[in-house]
Amino acid sequence: MSGFTFPVGRQKEGDFYAFAFQRPEGVTRILWARQSSDLIVRVPALADEAILVSAMGQERSIEADEGYYRIQLHGARCMPACDIGGPPVFIVEKTDEPVDVQAIEPIDPQMAILATATPTPMERITISPAEQATAEAELATQVAWTATPTATPIPSETPTPSPTATMTPTSVPSPTATPTAASGELDADGSEPGDGSTRPGVGESVLSWLFIGFALLLGLVLAVFVVRHRNSR
């Protein structure tokens, strides 16, 4: 819309709006629908061809047909009133001479066409009596097959396995630790505790030495007696 200049030509109808003004690219006209229905209008051409620009900026060339452009305007989204109108389209034309945009031939609203969808006629299919009888027989067969109940097998009861006896482990008595007497402790009779063997005490050792000393003394006395007996002869 750069280079927009006044004056501006306006046309307001019940089904559409049209504005025209000058730009460096040429005469530019803006059109949009005012109602919810699509509309086709015949726009008087100022040149043999023009550039049609959509509301999304897409451009394409169009040619005049007997001095008019056929332009389709998409309908407005009315919820419920048509306050905004449909998406606008832009027609840009290059002219050889300056054009008074306020004096441009208006669009004839009586020539506007509502762009309604044309229903496509359905092809009529003819069926012969033989084909109809065959189709009815097949349908009856399918209905009879569907209506016949089918026996549903009842599942048999699955035997439940008996529980297997499990051996219960017998508890083994744990060995009882026998307390051992500490070193240096004595039994009631004065001996050290042990595995039942008797260790020689201090008294037995003294008796052994006394017996050895008595034997030596007796041997000495006998030796003296023998010597004296020999000398006396």
Domains and CATH numbers, the chain: 5-114 (2.60.40.1180)
Q: Tens digit of pLDDT for each residue in 126-158? A: 666 777 777 777 767 665 555 555 556 666 666
Confidence of residue 82 (pLDDT cuts 50, 70, 90): confident
pTM of the model: 0.48
**Sign of the CA dihedral 133, 139, 142, 148?**
negative
Q: Tens digit of pLDDT for each residue in 155-181? A: 666 666 665 655 555 555 555 554 444
Lowest mean per-residue pLDDT among 2-16, 32-46, 133-147, 215-229: 133-147
Highest-confidence segment of 7-11, 97-101, 185-189, 204-208: 7-11
Confidence of residue 187 (pLDDT cuts 50, 70, 90): very low
